[in-house]
Amino acid sequence: MPGHRTKGFCASAVALALCAVLAGCGGSGESVGGGKVALRYTWWGNPDRAERTEQAVALFEKRHPNVRVQTSFSGYDAYKQKLAVQATGGDAPDVMQLDYRQIDQYASGGVLLDLAKQKSVLHTSEIDPGLLATGRVDGTQYAVPQGRGTETVVYDVRAWKKAGVPLPRQGWTWDDWAAAVRALAKRTGKPGATDPGQNEDSFEVWLRGRGKALYTKDGGLGFTADDLARWWTFTDRLRREGAVSPAEQTTQLDGSVENTPLGRGKAIADTNWDAPSSGYLAIIPTGIALAPMPAGENGTPGQYFKPSMFLGVSANTGHAKESAQLVDFLLNDRDAAEILGASRGIAVNETIREQTASQLKDFDKTVADFQSSLEGTLKDPPQAPPSGDNALQSTFQRDYDQVSYERMSPHEAAENYVTEAKAELRS
Amino acid sequence: MTTTDIPAPPARPKRAAPAPKRRTKREREGAAWVFLSPWVLGASVLTLLPMVVSLYLSFTDYNLFDPPRWVGLRNYTQMFTEDPRYWRSVMTTLTYVVVAVPLQVALALVVALALKSMKRGKGFYRSAFYAPSLLGASMSIALVWRAVFNDGGTVDNLLGTGGWVNKPGWALLSVALLTVWQFGAPMVIFLAGLQQIPAELYEAAAVDGAGKWRQFVSVTVPMLSPVLFFNLVLQTIQAFQVFTPAFAVSAGKGGPADSTLVYTMYLYDRGFVASHMGYASAMAWVLLLVIGAVTAVLFRTSRSWVFYASEGDR
């Protein structure tokens, strides 16, 4: 019998070898047929953002017929891991979307191009200098912020109103929030909100409301195990009462709106970033609304305007100029701005922001209105998180898993986290 | 899952045309090296070199971005003395090996026995049972698996169990089931082994009044023991290195509450999520040594229960 297979086997072996050879040609910075320049551009986001980004990219390709842009996107957790592997392998995409947490690590690791080298095509004069500075590491502009975002309590308007619970209001505190989710759970039979205990961002808001910060100025840990234990005790109690989502739901969070309890129809509200919440509209067509994050007991606001999503160019790109042109287009082109709307937060180019403000519609307008309602009430953002924070975000979720599955007490888990965090920040 | 090479039958001796000139030994060796070169090149550049580098990295602190920094044995001491998650991952892996391997080997044997006694449609069923082994290694099946065992998934709907993949006590079992389901490779090897057992042994046993069970225990098991041993060793080695099912079924997190954080998942987490490549390399080397040790132990015990027919002849 084996004798009959030999021919087929050889043919498939040859085919396999050919595939390997062909695949090997598809690397970064290669030119494609007809002298075209091929760029790779990757981001994370929801399908709404993807659709608009594709449209903007198509327009860019029309304006620059010699450039072809290959795009790819995924949810944040998956994106973070994939980019880390690509970046360390020297195969980072030509143009990549970056989070505030990644800038420090990627810049000091030599992954990112110094954008000043391309200032002839990449203009940044119309971006607020303070905001622009958030993309600088040691005085070098490695990335440009694409927008600013802030956290929000996003909720299913109809379900909340039907429950007859007073709507969230400006300046509500964590106690008010807890009372609201308890009431929602009682009247609807569903948890009022996603358990925010696993969310490092929510913890930061809570912590800032108490006048503390995640990290100190020199990149050390800005809080104690007691602080964290208090937060986790607070959320864990709500979970035991059924006021926030159970562990089985919470553990499925992966950065996409679809896998949140709100997105799965298992809760009334969620804590999320404002712009990505547009993804909920596809799931909850009856309408969602954005409310401010709860403040500290004395009214200290914890949330802040964070430079959301930076654009950076790979230091290894073979097409620095074209990459910079794409970045410039996404930031400064009026048509691109109209297509992109607020899918990555409100535009950073001030002229464009003013020009397009009146044209924003649907959810873009919701986000813009939400941000302007907070204007002037928030405290300054913290400086860029230290390198280790990138990994700590996952550690935070994991350690809270131990709490919500009742395998550790909030105190034990908090001690664990602080130990791990200190080791991570030291190395 | 790696495919298993089934040794090809010895080539039929052909009467070669008389060679015009006898080649020297050196010439023949040269030709051998030319034919071997693709393999030698691949093995040295793609396997040996990375292994040497990883051994070096295991003694360093390396975050992928900055150059490696020599730290001596610190990664190893940290692993053994200061890292509770490391030990949790070890326990998880051992649990997994102890559950998945016997289940898989037993299932493979049972199906192989059933197939052997089949009169018709053997080829069809053999292919059908082998199919999961071809599909199972793929990411898509693992993702389907997650959906099947998630809340609102098939199993939840049929049995009302809730989402296994979100329950710390059950998540590892759903990962193990994915492996067990891919019993095709050991099954095929068992089938081959079963066909090697001379029919006259069964006839003799039947004449002596042995029933089916007695035949199985006294003829099949001893005659099959080398194959059983082979499967056991192979599946154990693979089970220690399980990654894809755990990764996909836990959506890349090893959760819930670290319950599916098997050794290689934690290795991946340290290396690619937390960027501690030195630590991850050290973990990889410990795994290699442990697998080597476990295999050695298996070989040692095999002397007392594996029966090689050829030895009996002597």
Spatial neighbors of A263 by CB under 8 A, at least 6 apart, are A256, A257, A270, A279, A280, A283
Mutation site, A108, A245, A252, A396, interface B, largest B CB count within 10 A: A252
The reply to whether A117 falls in a domain is yes
Residues of B with CB under 8 A from a CB of A: 8-9, 61, 63-66, 84, 151, 162-163, 166-168, 251-253, 255-258, 269, 272-276
CB atoms within 10 A of CB B293: 10
- A284 in the same domain as A177: yes
Over the stretch A298-329, which tens digit does the pLDDT of each residue have? 888 889 888 878 999 998 888 888 888 898 98
CB-CB under 8 Å, A424 with B273: no
CB-CB under 8 Å, B66 with A84: no
What is the CATH number assigned to the segment(s) B78-313?
1.10.3720.10
Using a CB-CB cut-off of 8 Å, the residues of chain A touching B163 are 248
The predicted pLDDT at position A414 comes to 94
Over the stretch B260-299, which tens digit does the pLDDT of each residue have? 899 999 999 888 878 888 999 999 999 999 999 999 998 8
CB-CB under 8 Å, A401 with B255: yes
Q: Which residue of B has its CA nearest to A86?
A: B272
Using a CB-CB cut-off of 8 Å, the residues of chain B touching A1 are none
Mutation site, A260, A405, A416, A417, interface B, largest B CB count within 10 A: A405
Type of residue found at B240: F
The 10 Å CB-count burial string (b at 16+, else e) for A235-268 is bbebbeebbbbbbbbbbbbbbbbbebbbbbebbb
Over the stretch B193-219, which tens digit does the pLDDT of each residue have? 888 888 888 888 888 888 888 888 888
- A257 in the same domain as A170: yes
Q: Is the pLDDT of residue B234 over 70?
A: yes
Spatial neighbors of A418 by CB under 8 A, at least 6 apart, are A221, A224, A225, A228
Q: Is the pLDDT of residue B34 over 50?
A: yes
Mean pLDDT computed over A71-94: 85
Find out whether A171 and A299 touch, Cβ atoms under 8 Å. Answer: yes
CA dihedral B30, B31, B34, B39 (to 10 degrees): -100
Type of residue found at A281: L
- A156 in the same domain as A101: no
The predicted pLDDT at position A26 comes to 39
- A408 in the same domain as A271: yes
The reply to whether A335 falls in a domain is yes
The reply to whether A380 falls in a domain is no
Number of domains in chain A: 2
Which class for B233: exposed (0-12), middle (13-18), buried (19 or more C-beta within 10 A)? middle
Among A68, A77, A64, A74, which Cα is nearest to A43's?
Answer: A74
Positive or negative torsion for Cα B19, B25, B31, B36: positive
pTM as predicted: 0.77
Out of A85, A110, A402, closest to residue B65 by CB? A110
Structure-model confidence comparison of residues A212 and B17, the more confident one: A212
CB-CB under 8 Å, B166 with A401: no
The predicted pLDDT at position B305 comes to 80
Q: Which residue of A has its CA nearest to B275?
A: A391
Q: Which helix (H) or strand (E) holds A186?
A: helix A174-188
Q: What is the span of the domain harbouring residue A297?
A: 151-303+388-426
CB atoms within 10 A of CB B43: 12
Report the complex ipTM.
0.71
Find out whether A259 and A248 touch, Cβ atoms under 8 Å. Answer: no
- How far is B33 from B44, CA to CA, in rounded Å? 14
CB-CB under 8 Å, B257 with A405: yes
| CA-based nearest distance B71→chain A, Å | 12
CB contacts < 8 A, A to B, total 77
Over the stretch B104-120, which tens digit does the pLDDT of each residue have? 999 999 999 888 888 78
CATH number at residue A230: 3.40.190.10
Using a CB-CB cut-off of 8 Å, the residues of chain B touching A405 are 168, 256-257
The reply to whether A95 falls in a domain is yes
Mutation site, B166, B188, B279, interface A, largest A CB count within 10 A: B166
In percent, the amount of chain B with pLDDT more than 70 equals 90
- A254 in the same domain as A368: no
The reply to whether A12 falls in a domain is no
Beta bridge partners of B261: none
Q: Is the pLDDT of residue A409 over 90?
A: yes
Find out whether B181 and B165 touch, Cβ atoms under 8 Å. Answer: no
The reply to whether A128 falls in a domain is yes
The reply to whether A287 falls in a domain is yes
A254 touches chain B (CB under 8 A): yes
Find out whether A155 and A291 touch, Cβ atoms under 8 Å. Answer: yes
- A282 in the same domain as A409: yes
Q: Which residue of B has its CA nearest to A398?
A: B257
- A238 in the same domain as A118: no
Q: Which residue of A has its CA nearest to B278?
A: A427
- A260 in the same domain as A364: no
CB-CB under 8 Å, A88 with B64: yes
Over the stretch B257-268, which tens digit does the pLDDT of each residue have? 888 899 999 999
The predicted pLDDT at position A218 comes to 84
The reply to whether A15 falls in a domain is no
The predicted pLDDT at position B311 comes to 57
- A189 in the same domain as A294: yes
A122 φ, ψ to 5°? -110, 105
Pairing of strands A36-44, A67-74: parallel
Mean pLDDT computed over A168-180: 90
Structure-model confidence comparison of residues B166 and A414, the more confident one: A414
Conformational region of residue A347, where left means phi above 0, alpha means psi within -120 to 50, and beta covers everything else = beta
The predicted pLDDT at position A278 comes to 81
Over the stretch A202-257, which tens digit does the pLDDT of each residue have? 999 999 999 999 998 888 899 999 999 999 999 999 999 988 988 888 888 877 88
The predicted pLDDT at position B16 comes to 53
- A278 in the same domain as A167: yes
